[in-house]
Structures are given as structure tokens and as C-alpha cells.
Amino acid sequence: MYVPVLLYQIGLVVCVVSCVRATEQDTNVTRRDTQELKHEYYYVTRQVQTISMNINRYIDILVIVVRQGLHNIDPYPLPDVVERFDEKVWILSLSGQFLMRNGIIHNLNSISRRGNATLRYENMKLYIDTEFMFDLLMVSGNSIVLRTT
């Protein structure tokens, strides 16, 4: 229920901002029309501020939906990996390869929001900034480290 309301309100903001900018450039629009649109713009801006205060709730709802989808694919197979490394730790130089085959990642559905989400409007676009974390993410597979030096 919250996500469609949020999308409607975001769409309204974008529409009103576009109209205000377009009418400021159109010489056929009266000053009264421009003032009304600016009033509407400020009203919608206040609505966005209200939405941004509740954005954590919207993100949490989104996480619940994502978790439900992840139940269907957990555990998830990983592609085979061959990764070369060349590191120096103090006076010790290490180089070699890490190989993993038949990898599987478990507990993808332990995803959750980390910290507060923020909503910002820039260049006619709305941005949501947030971080996600996994409570317990496990990877299994056949792996080997080959040291070459």
C-alpha cells in the first residue's frame, strides 16, 4: 500500500516541477498562472519533505518484498572464480591464485536496511540513498589457494 502512494507522490513532484520550469520560459503564461504553479511546487516540496521523513518505512517495506523474492532463490549458485593476487605484507611478498568452483551463497534473505535512508531531488530526478546489510551471509564451495612465490 505504501509503495504505490510513494510513487504517486514522487510522480506529482516531478510533474509540478516540470510545469513550473516550463511556464517560467513560456511568455504566453500569465503571472498569475506562474504564481499558482509555484504555490503548487512549494506544496509538493513540503510533501516530499514529509515523505523523506518516512522513507525508512518505505524502504523497510521494499526489503520485506525483496526477502520474499529471495526465499525462492536461496541458496544461490555462484559462478566459478579465478582471482590472482600479489600482496606485500610488511617484509613478506605473497602472490598466487584463488580458485573456487561450485560456489553457493546462503542466507540472501537475511537482507535488511542499515542506518537511515534519505530522499533528495536533483536535476529533475529523485534519489534515494540507503545502505543494506546481510545478517549472516555464508559462501560454500570447492576452493583452493595456489601460492606461486
Residue 124: name the closest of 10, 4, 26, 23 by CA.
10
Residue with the bigger pLDDT between 17 and 90: it is 90
Amino acid at the residue 51: I
Instruction: Report the distance separating Cα 39 and Cα 25, nearest Å.
Output: 17
Task: Indicate yes or no: pTM above 0.95.
Answer: no
- Grid cell, residue 56, equals 525508512
DSSP 136: S
Residue 137: name the closest of 97, 82, 79, 78 by CA.
78
Residue 112, pLDDT > 60, answer: yes
Which residues are CB-neighbours of 120 under 8 A, at least 6 positions away? 52, 126, 127, 129
List, for residues 60-82, the tens digit of each pLDDT value. Answer: 888 999 888 888 888 889 888 88
Give the CA distances from residue 85 to residues 25, 37, 102, in Å, rounded to whole numbers and listed in that order: 57, 59, 21
Residue with the bigger pLDDT between 132 and 11: it is 132
List, for residues 19-53, the tens digit of each pLDDT value. Answer: 545 545 555 556 666 677 777 777 777 776 666 66
Residue with the bigger pLDDT between 118 and 50: it is 118
Which contiguous run of DSSP H or E holds residue 35? helix 31-53
